[in-house]
Amino acid sequence: MKRLEVKKLDFAYGRNQILFEFDFSLEESQIGCLLGPSGCGKTTALRAIAGFENPTKGEIILNGNKLNSSKIFVEPEKRQIGMVFQDIALFPHLSVKENIQFGIRSLSQNLRDKRSNELLDLVGMSEFKKKYPHEISGGQQQRVALARAMAPKPSLLLMDEPLSSLDEELREQLAREIRLILKQEKVSAILVTHDQNEAFAVGDHICVMHQGRVQQNDSAYNLYHHPLNRFVAEFIGEGTLLPGVVADEGTIATDLGEIKGNLPESCKHQDKVDVLIRPENVILANDNENKVVITARYFRGSSYLYTLKTNSGAEILCFLSSSESLQIDQSIGVQLQIEKPVFFSRS
């Protein structure tokens, strides 16, 4: 049995439909991420699962029990769902330990102490248990918030951008820690983020959303290497779409030469397509006749990310070691190296 199943959820604020047939599921102890640009409906989806919003259509099933359908609505406090938000909202007048114990007040003193000590240990906050929220850092506060939400052993933990107020370095580190903590507690959880590195660090699978619709729910690897549509191709990782035309021999002719690949039968001669070009597909080849002009350059530490323009004005990206500094407006020869092209037809 799945831990969570969300089936074809529609939701609207008044006349404004926000979610369209939103599908999502989680196995026991699995961590899923909702990833997408601002306003795509991530928080709304989470709020619907938590019971703060009532969907117009669809079903939410947790541990085999329907929480939502046309006839059923289980109140949020009866759903056994824990939540962690971006604005941490610890109780300022309670110590770290008392914050963690808040949701298990009804347990005996003994059990409460046992559980809170266990969690203090798990999130690495034992030595701060007597401190108050204003006496600890943002990252530490977020760990306490996580422990507080996990204390009652919820069936499902929902986290809405819990790390977005932290600086980037701490964010990645804490994202990895959160994954370990959730896995140790064997919690099933959903993390909402618009930061793909965070989603890659935390999620077993990642649901990419755009304008209220699920675009692809998949592993990070598949999202990067086998994007199902243009949106996912451009949203995940770095890359651009290079126009091409299907040639006779089942190859794609582009400004930068022919790209070979197993084209499906549906691809006909002269069909117009766009091929996904990742920076790692572009190799510097000075003798090559396929020339591009450098239009922009971004320092990335060990490498520079270059934006290159082809003869017909298409853009591609390319990484080169930062010891090899090329100049804007310089013309260079490049070669494409693509094993299995990902492409989308263009009407």
Ligand X SMILES: Nc1ncnc2c1ncn2[C@@H]1O[C@H](COP(=O)(O)OP(=O)(O)OP(=O)(O)O)[C@@H](O)[C@H]1O
The distance of closest approach from Cβ of residue 54 to ligand X in the complex, given in angstroms and rounded to an integer, is 13
Is 44 near Mg ion (CB under 5 A)? no
Sole window of 40-48, 138-146, 242-250, 298-306 interacting with ligand X (rule: CB under 6 A): 40-48
- Partner touching 79 among Mg ion, ligand X, none, CB below 5 to 8 Å by kind: none
Binding mask 237-256 for ligand X (x = CB under 6 A): --------------------
Token look-up 């406090």 returns 77
In Å, what is the CA distance from 147 to each residue of 152, 160, 282, 333? Answer: 9, 15, 45, 55
> Do the beta carbons of residue 285 and residue 292 sit within 8 Å?
no
Is 43 near Mg ion (CB under 5 A)? yes
Please say which residue, 63 or 164, places its beta carbon nearer to Mg ion. 164
Is 101 near Mg ion (CB under 5 A)? no
Do you know the residue count of the chain?
347
Is 193 near Mg ion (CB under 5 A)? no
Assigned token pair, 325: 């500094």
Q: Return the closest-CA partner of residue 38 out of 242, 155, 209, 277.
A: 209
Please say which residue, 194 or 278, places its beta carbon nearer to ligand X. 194
Binding mask 50-79 for Mg ion (x = CB under 5 A): ------------------------------
- Partner touching 13 among ligand X, Mg ion, none, CB below 5 to 8 Å by kind: ligand X
What lies within 8 Å, CB to CB, of 254 at 6+ separation is 242, 243, 244, 275, 310, 336
Task: Choose, by CB under 6 A, the member of 22, 31, 35, 41 that binds ligand X.
Answer: 41
Q: Return the closest-CA partner of residue 335 out of 266, 282, 264.
A: 282
Binding footprint of ligand X, residue count (CB under 6 A): 11
The distance of closest approach from Cβ of residue 18 to Mg ion in the complex, given in angstroms and rounded to an integer, is 11
Is 38 near ligand X (CB under 6 A)? yes
The distance of closest approach from Cβ of residue 40 to ligand X in the complex, given in angstroms and rounded to an integer, is 4
Q: What residues numbered 179-218 form the site for ligand X, per CB under 6 A?
A: 194
Token look-up 């108050």 returns 132
Is 18 near ligand X (CB under 6 A)? yes
Give the dihedral sign, CA 33/37/40/46.
positive
In Å, what is the CA distance from 294 to each residue of 50, 274, 276? Answer: 49, 21, 19
- Partner touching 41 among ligand X, Mg ion, none, CB below 5 to 8 Å by kind: ligand X
Is 40 near ligand X (CB under 6 A)? yes
Task: Choose, by CB under 6 A, the member of 26, 35, 44, 51 that binds ligand X.
Answer: 44
The distance of closest approach from Cβ of residue 162 to ligand X in the complex, given in angstroms and rounded to an integer, is 12
Is 158 near ligand X (CB under 6 A)? no
Which runs of E-coded beta strand occur in the chain? Answer: 4-13, 16-26, 31-35, 57-62, 65-68, 81-84, 156-160, 189-193, 205-210, 213-218, 240-246, 251-254, 257-260, 272-277, 282-284, 291-299, 303-309, 315-321, 331-336, 343-345
Sole window of 31-39, 220-228, 235-243, 287-295 interacting with ligand X (rule: CB under 6 A): 31-39
Q: Return the closest-CA partner of residue 47 out of 11, 91, 2.
A: 11
What lies within 8 Å, CB to CB, of 162 at 6+ separation is 84, 85, 86, 88, 142, 145, 146, 178, 191
DSSP 92: T
Please say which residue, 39 or 124, places its beta carbon nearer to ligand X. 39
Is 39 near ligand X (CB under 6 A)? yes
Residues lying near ligand X in the complex (CB under 6 A): 13, 18, 36, 38-44, 194
Residues lying near Mg ion in the complex (CB under 5 A): 43
